[in-house]
Structure formats: C-alpha cells, structure tokens
Structure 1
Amino acid sequence: MKPTGLLIGILGFTLWAALMLVLAYPHDWVTLANAPVVLILVSSIYSLLLPLSLSLALSALAVLMFNYQMVPPVHTFHVDLHEHGILLITMMGVSWLITYLLRRQKQIAALERQQAQRTLQLMQWSEKLREFDNPQQLLSDLHQLLLGLAEGSTQVLVGFTSSELESLNATQIKAFDACLQENKALGKSTGRYDNLEDLYLPMRGKSKAYGVCVCVGGDIDFNEALWVRDAQALLDQMGLACDRRDNALRAQSARESAQTQKTRSLFLTSIAHDQRTPLASIMTSASAILEQTDRLSKDEIRHYAELIQEETQQVARLTDNTLTLARLSGEQVQVPTQLESVEDIVAAVLQRLRKRKAVYLPTVKVAAGLPLLNCNMVLVEQVLDNLIDNAIKHSGAPCSVELNVLQQQGDVVFQVSDRGVGMQGQHKLQGDESRGMGIGLQLCHAVAQVHAGCLSFSTPAIAGQGVLAIFTLPLAEAQEQGA
C-alpha cells in the first residue's frame, strides 16, 4: 500500500473509533434522537476513506453499538420491534446506502479524472508527433505511454516489425504479422482469433498498419478495460503520423522527379540550342563546296573549308563541355586538385585561343604576387576559355575584351569584360543563354560549385556597355580553414 493510502486508511479508522467512543460514552448532548444523525454523518465521512466492504462492516458495527448503548433496554441487543425496530433497520439501510453511493461517486470521480488525464496525454502525444519529422523515432516514448496506461497489469510490447521484438514466440510472431497485414485488432475479446491468449492492436494509418502493440497475457479484462480504447487511440495517432510522413516523402520525391525531368529537358534543349548554329554552318559550307565546286575559286573553297574547321572545333568544344558537365552533375562529386600557378592557367588559356586561331586575343592583366590556387587546372581553364570565347563573340571590336586577375581577401578573382550587347536584368546573376552560353554557362557554374567558388554576371544600366563576368575561387589557405 502506498504511504498516502495508508494515512487515509488510518484517518478513516480514527473517525470510526471516535464514533464508537461517542456511542460507548454518551454525553447529555448525545441522545437517542440525535445519535442516528451523528452516526450517519461520521459513517458517510469514513466511507470515503476506506474500502466499500470494510465501510459496510464498520457501519454495521456502529449500528450494533448504538443499539447496545442507547436503545432501551440498554446494554443488551434486545430490540422492541414495535418501538425501535424500524429505527435500527432504517439506520442500517441509510448508512449502507450512503456508504455505497459515496463510494460509487468517488469511483466515478476518479474515473473521470483518469479519463481527463488520458485525454490530455493524448493531446500532448499528438502535438509531439507533429513536431517530429520522423515519428518512428518516438517508438520508445509510445512504449512508455502504453505501459503507463496498463499500470503494470499486463506486459506491453510495441514495434514496427515482428523482428524488432525478440521475446515473441512463433505463434505470437504469426499473430503480429497477421495484425500488421490486416490492419485490424485481433486476439482476446476482439471477435477475431479469440483463442489467442494475447491482444494485438495495430498502428492504423489510412491505408495500412505501420506497427503492432502486443498486450501479453495478464488478468485484465479486455472487454471492460478503458485503457485498451485509449491505447488504440495512441497507436492510431502514431499510425496517422507515419502516414503523413510517407505522404510528405512521396510528394517530395515527386517534386524532385519533376525537377530532375525539367532539368534534363533544359539540359537537352541547351545542347540542341548550342549545337544547332555550328552544325547549320558546317552543313551550309559543305553543301556549297559539293554543289558549286566548278564555280567556286580556290580562295572561296578555302574560306568554306576554314569555316567548316572552325565550326567543327566549336562542336568539339561543346561536346567537351557537355561531357564535363555530365561528370560534374553527380551527387557529392569530388575532382582531383593540386596547387597551380595563376599565371600558368592564364597562359594555357591564351595558348588554346591561339591554336584555335581566335579572331583576336583579350587584353590580360594579372596582379603580381598572386598565391597558388588549389584547383583542377583543366576545369578552370575550361571556364576561362568559355567566358573569354563568349566575350570575343559579342565584343564587337578588337582589344575590347579584358581579362583581369586579382586577389580580394581570401579569393582569387577572374574578371572577363567585353563591350558588346549587355544582358537583361533578370539574367545578370546567371548569365544570358541567348548569348551562346547554354551548356558552357552551366559548366562554369558547376566548376565554381565543386571548387567552393562562385560565378556572377553584371552589366551597366546603359545598353551596349558589355558584360562583366566574375569567376571567384578561394585560395588554398581559405579552403584548408573551411575544411
């Protein structure tokens, strides 16, 4: 017995003992007329403190004591039925009736308090489930709540699969899996597999069960136990939370799939857009040579051949960009890097432009004393080649394209500027694909990303002032500190 219950029991016995002393040693104010009222009043108080059967027995003893001490002839249990019989019977009946009603009312009040507490518990559990992205992490909390509802009267096991509960035997595992598959309670007093000794309650979602609670044996009457209903409510909350999470994951997967499909479509569109122009030029030049060989001079044939060679080189560059971008598009891509000189990178880019016989070369300014870059030299060269080639195509005049390389805090900044047609405002940060950047632009952004750098574009407000492309890479020291 709990200490609080023991103290309440002692208090009840004390009140009954005080009543017995009053009846045993009556005073002038305790008479045959008012003693029954005192007896009923005191018995109604200690009946709230003591168990029902004990209260009824003590009330009967109190009535007997009243008969022995105060009903003539006193100090005997003889009763004159015509004069005092109805009084004693009425006292006994009223005392027992009040005792029963008060005890019943106390039980109802206790049950109501318990239900209010469980309702609050269910609301708090529902709020807790909404706060967690993955409700399955709260399985141990659910187990503790179910144990609290059972109040130690039965063993409670809960899991998402039968393999999680190692203490289950072969029969219990089959029942567990049947409950999980059918999404219905089964076992004792459920009307389904009543021959089972245990009760199985599912975590019911809208379309399936996500787990099962196993109430192992015990003496509890599952038909009348309100905690079974409350336990099912807690399990249903968990099942619905798991259902919501599954729906959210499916919706996220659908969005990612749609975004992937959109990206793939844009990627293919960019490839077609960038390759259409050089292929059309190649086809036109080749057709002119084949169909008009007799009418073309050697210089004209040479011109068409050089044009075919130039456009073929452009297609080759686009193919290289496409392959590189595809390689950089995977998840958690890591490219080999090493310390490289900025001067060597710029020199390699200029050499590539000379081999390609570019229309003209950019004006280059490299700040003195630049530290080494920890980068993939081939990829960085490809970015600068794309930016410079695009600027040359749209600059409009020789010596109007500039490449400036400088250091700003912990970064090395490559600035490529031209004086051609600018960009619309919405393209200043991402670049203008209409200027022929398509795949090349996506490649530049991908290379900047794998190097923890950035790429941006800006243009003056006045049209025709060109575009400034800024390609920023962190220095080796900054990368080591970030790591």
Structure 2
Amino acid sequence: MSQPNRHLVPKLEVRWPGVAIWLSAWALLWACDGVLNLGNLALLLVLASAMASMWLSATASVVLSALSVLGFNWWFVPPRFTFHVHLHQDLLLLVTMLGVSVMVSYLMARLRLAAQRESQHAQAAQQLRALSEQFRENMDLPTQGHLLQSVLQTSVRGTVSVLLLRELAALSTSPAASLLIGHPNAQDTQGLWACVKQFAAMGPGTGRYENQSTLFLPLRGQSCAWGAVALHGVSWPALTAFTRHTVQQMCDVLGLEIERAHTLQQAQHAKEEAQSQSLRNTLLTSISHDYRTPLANLMGAASAIHDQGALLSAQQITDLAHTVLLEAQHLNRMTTNTLQLARLDAAPWQVHKDWESLQEVVGAVLSKTRLRYPQRQIDVVLPAGLPLIFCDAMLLVQLLDNLVENAIKYSPDESLIQLHAQRQGDTIEVRVIDQGPGIPDAWKDKVFQAFERIHPQAAQADASDETQLRRGVGVGLAVCQAIAKVHGAKIWIQDTQPHGATVCVAWPVDVQPEMNSPSSEV
C-alpha cells in the first residue's frame, strides 16, 4: 500500500518548473525591451507569476512577485537603474502589478495546496477501502493483525506492535485469549492494555501522557476497543496531523471489522440456538401429542396379554400381538423420520455417497413394504439400462419408502400404487402415484414443511377408523425433501387423473464410473 504525502510544501526537485518560468519570463522581457510598452511588459510578469505559482510555495511566489516588481522598476521603468518613478501612471502600473502578482501568486499557491490536500484525502480513502477489502478477504485474526502491522510500519516508518482481543471477555478475565503481534517491552505492553481499557489514544500529540515516546492508538469499534497498536521509534515532529489521523482510521477499520465478525458470529450462534430450541420444542410437542395414541395402544394390548393371557384364545393373542407389532413399527417409523430430519437439518452433516443401482434400491423398498402391507398391489416400472445414482443408499431407501408409505396410507386398500422411473435428459425421474383423495394446490408446497398435516384430526387419540392409518407427526415428506436437498435432487407434487396424487423426484445423473472389464487370464 502506498504511503500518503507527508508534506504539502513542494520539494526542491519539483520547484524547477517555477524557477524556469521566471527565468524564461525575464529573458522574454529583455528580448521585448523597446518593442513593447511598459504595460505589455508588465503583463508578462503577471503571467509568469500566475504560472510559476503552480509549482512554488505561497511564500516563494509572493517573494518572487515582489522582487520581480522591484527588478522591473530598476531595469525597465524610467529613469532606469533607479527606484525613482517620475510619471504617476508608471507608479500606478507598478503598484497594480505588485498587487495583482502577489494576489494571483497567493491564490494559485492556495489552490494548489487545496488540490494536494484533496489528492491526499482521496488517496487515503482509497487506501482505507483497499485495507477494508483485504481484512474482509482474510478473516483470520492473526492474518489481519500482521496485515495492519505491515501497513502501519510502511506509513510511519517505525516499529509497530499490535494487541488484538479474540473476545471482549479477554479484557477482564482471560488475557491468554488475546493476541500480541510484535515484540513490545513490558511498559509498552501495559500501555497497550491501558489504551484498550481507556478507549482513547495515548502518547505524543494526543493530549494524554505526552511524555511517552510511544504512541498508542485503539482499534475502535462502535462502543469499545477490540485491541490497540503501539508505534515505536517514530520521528513525531515530522509526522503530520493528517498522517496521524489516517493511521487512526486504519486502526478503526480493523476494529470495526473485528466487531462485525464478532456480531455475525453471535447472530449465527443465536440463530442456531433459536432453531435448536424451536426444534426441541416442536419435538417435545410432537412426542407428547402424536406418540400418545400408539403408546396407549401398545400398553393396552401388552396389558391384555399380560393380565388376561390365560383367558384369551390363541387368535385373540395373535391379534393383540399383531397390534403390538404394528404400533411398534409405527413408533419406530415416526422416531426414525424425526431423528433423520434433525440430522439433515444440522450443519454440517456428511452424506456418505456411493454409486448405487436404482433397481436394488427399489427392491429393498418393496421388500419392506410387502412385509407391512402384504395385500397391497404395487406396480413397478423400471426401464432397463438406467444409469447408476451417486447417493447415500440408506437415505434413498428411506425417501422412496416414505413416499410409498404415504401413498398406501392415503389411498383405498383395493387401489393400485404405482412406482415408475424413467430417464429425462440429465435426470432420473421417479414417480410414486396413488389413487387417493389428492392434495389441494395450496398444500402442494406446505406438506414438505415439518409437522404440517393436511388432516391433523388423524393424529388424535379418538381418530376414526377411516383416518386411523394416517396417524403421524407430519415429518415424512419433510424428510424426503431434506434427503433430496442434500443430494441436489428436486421433489414436487402433481395431481393424478382422475384423482390422486403423484410425488415426483428428479435425481441428477452424474458422470458414470468406469467399469473394470473382467480379466481374460485363465
């Protein structure tokens, strides 16, 4: 990062154009002597004064303008080689020339200084923007501290030490949580901590502890300091007020960036905590409400077998045992879906993918479904030559199993359930089709939200026989959407004609793995 100009007064090497202009003007005066009258010759000096002021300081411009008037009076105004003026108009000419030259020189010099100051401010603003962007690109706190140290050492040409706070608690409870960059002595280390606590600059030119040889500047945030810097071995008389101000602004840029990162971290933590709390509350509500009916059925059937086993027939015991099994499976399914949803919503969560055959996945789903619903008719259409899917097989089985389970729950017992798959461009589209009541358009997106149910009365303890199979916590489709999301797939719902619902899943087709050919060796 370039260093701003230290002084507004022009240096010797940049004054030579002004000196050259004055020399050229005097040479032109001698050449035009006797050709032009005094008024025109005087205009040459006024022009030279205005032009030379662009390179000379205000003092030098005024002094040279005054000397030029005296010289013009000596060499060109009659009587020559004296400072006497016989004609009143010549005296007026000299006075006017002196006034105009001095005023023009002063104004031009002031204008040039203002332009230089504006250039410095623009350069400093550009430096601060570049520094802020570098801080944002390098979010690591030690990297930011070393970057600030390097920039300040270039700006002040001295040694810089930086104290950074990893958290505000480090100020009062844990100094080990702070970061010290550089090699300050014990006294400067104490000065750094004092600068942070007092939230103010200390040292030369600050009005506080002026006798110190080290300048301490805080890394200011909105309401507190997130660190401090110590500037050692700097020539304070040569350091301009503008440079001091710019250095403080550089420190403030890092202070605000640290505060911003800390605020974002707190906001993210609060968001995660709120989500976690919301999920816990929802799970507790769901467990207390939706788990009550299957648990009651389990306890009733198990209690009947335990207390009246000797009085029950073999068929009655079989029926009660079947009830226990169904309710246990129902509880296991709700628990698995709820826990899976919690895992998929947690970040980060690693999905273990591998190349899987859709035929094998569908076969596993059908095996589980036929054990639960041996009487239901399921039509499966899987074209030959479907590409492999890069996925987590267990999650894909759970997704399709949930879709088939919902189709069975929400359709008549004698209706056909269809599971069709086909390739559509760069995707494999799987459709689960039922002949149930369908899903209203207003609910086609809402059903993918956790704990949302179209028929909430189905989860009540006094649910009717018609809705008894539809009990649940409303997380099945939410889990399906979460599984599709982590695999880059898309899931949506369409209507089935003349009635029913079709759940579609478009699975991306990745570049297929190379198959190793079998060895030809005998």
TM over 0.5: yes
Q: How does 1:27-426 map to 2 (within 5 A)?
A: 48=53, 52=59, 56=63, 59=66, 63=70, 66=73, 104-120=106-122, 134=136, 154-155=156-157, 161=163, 166=182, 175-210=191-226, 217-218=234-235, 220=237, 225-229=241-245, 232=248, 236=252, 239-240=255-256, 243-244=259-260, 246-272=262-288, 274-288=290-304, 299-356=315-372, 358-426=374-442
* 8 Å Cα contact 1:16-1:43 kept in structure 2: no
Which residue, out of 469, 472, 479, partners 2:503? 469
* 8 Å Cα contact 1:205-1:240 kept in structure 2: yes
Cα distance, 1:256 vs. partner?
Answer: 4.1
> Secondary structure at 1:187's aligned position in 2?
coil
User: Judging changes above 3 Å, is the alpha-carbon distance between structure 1 residues 165 and 352 closer, same or farther for their aligned structure 2 residues?
Assistant: closer
- Scaled by the length of structure 1, the TM-score of the pair is 0.71
* 8 Å Cα contact 1:421-1:467 kept in structure 2: yes
Opposite residue 330 of structure 2, the aligned amino acid is Q
Opposite residue 302 of structure 1, the aligned amino acid is T
* 8 Å Cα contact 1:340-1:372 kept in structure 2: yes
Cα distance in 2 for partners of 1:179, 1:135 equals 28
Cα distance in 2 for partners of 1:41, 1:144 equals 48
Matched with 1:453 is: 489
Matched with 2:15 is: 5
* 8 Å Cα contact 1:417-1:469 kept in structure 2: yes
User: Judging changes above 3 Å, is the alpha-carbon distance between structure 1 residues 38 and 126 closer, same or farther for their aligned structure 2 residues?
Assistant: closer
Cα distance, 1:11 vs. partner?
Answer: 1.3
User: Judging changes above 3 Å, is the alpha-carbon distance between structure 1 residues 298 and 101 closer, same or farther for their aligned structure 2 residues?
Assistant: same
* 8 Å Cα contact 1:362-1:399 kept in structure 2: no
Matched with 2:480 is: 444
Cα distance in 1 for partners of 2:319, 2:340 equals 32
Cα distance in 2 for partners of 1:43, 1:347 equals 98
Superimposed CA distance per residue, residues 345-365 of structure 1 (whole angstroms, 9 cap, x where no aligned partner): 333333333444645342333
* 8 Å Cα contact 1:134-1:245 kept in structure 2: no
Opposite residue 421 of structure 1, the aligned amino acid is P
Cα distance in 2 for partners of 1:127, 1:121 equals 10
Cα distance in 2 for partners of 1:290, 1:471 equals 46
User: How many residues in Structure 1 have an aligned counterpart in Structure 2?
Assistant: 462
- Scaled by the length of structure 2, the TM-score of the pair is 0.67
Matched with 2:176 is: none
Bigger drift between 138-147 and 268-277 goes to: 138-147
User: Judging changes above 3 Å, is the alpha-carbon distance between structure 1 residues 20 and 146 closer, same or farther for their aligned structure 2 residues?
Assistant: farther
RMSD (CA atoms) = 5.2
Cα distance in 1 for partners of 2:217, 2:496 equals 70
The percent identity for this pair of structures is: 29
User: Judging changes above 3 Å, is the alpha-carbon distance between structure 1 residues 38 and 292 closer, same or farther for their aligned structure 2 residues?
Assistant: closer
Cα distance, 1:9 vs. partner?
Answer: 0.9
* 8 Å Cα contact 1:333-1:450 kept in structure 2: no
Cα distance in 1 for partners of 2:350, 2:82 equals 105
Specify the structure having the higher radius of gyration (Cα). 1
Q: Identify unmatched segments of 5+ residues in structure 2.
A: 1-10, 165-178, 456-469, 515-522
Cα distance, 1:444 vs. partner?
Answer: 2.7
Cα distance, 1:190 vs. partner?
Answer: 1.0
